[in-house]
Amino acid sequence: MTGLFGGTDTDTLDRLFDDAVINGYNGYTAWYVGSVYTYVCSVFTQMEARQNARYPKSITWNRARKQCTLCNGAVIEFRSSENVYTLYGLDINKAVVDEQTMCNRDAWRAIKNALLRST
């Protein structure tokens, strides 16, 4: 099941986490993609605190790689669209894109290709 969500209110990010918890498996990957790396870092920190309260002891957080691994093996990665090359070559199941209008055309193409490869 492949999907692309827009917007980044907390409900949208909660939906991304909930989907990974319910439908995730070892090899399942979801992305949060922000337009600026510093903002991605801020969202990662906020989501770490929020999701640890919602799912205590079931998420392992890797601050250096800006990703978390759920107890079912699913991975959620927080990425920036500033360096488009970090978005190529991977298969993903879901994506949330923040500040869609700030992403350049190449970033959109990379995200779309990553989603299509996993179908």
Strands 67-70 and 59-62: antiparallel
State residue 115's pLDDT score.
84
pTM of the model: 0.85
CB 82 within 8 A of CB 33: no
**Residue 13 belongs to what domain range?**
3-117
Which residue did the predictor score with more confidence, 64 or 12? 64
Question: Which CATH number does the domain housing residue 33 bear?
Answer: 3.40.50.300
Which among 110, 100, 106, 51 is positioned nearest to 76, based on CA atoms?
Answer: 51
Number of separate domains in the chain = 1
- Please report, as a single letter, which amino acid is at residue 87: L
> In the predicted model, is pLDDT for residue 98 greater than 90?
no
> In the predicted model, is pLDDT for residue 5 greater than 60?
no
Task: List, for residues 41-67, the tens digit of each pLDDT value.
Answer: 999 998 999 888 888 888 999 999 999
State residue 118's pLDDT score.
58
State residue 2's pLDDT score.
45
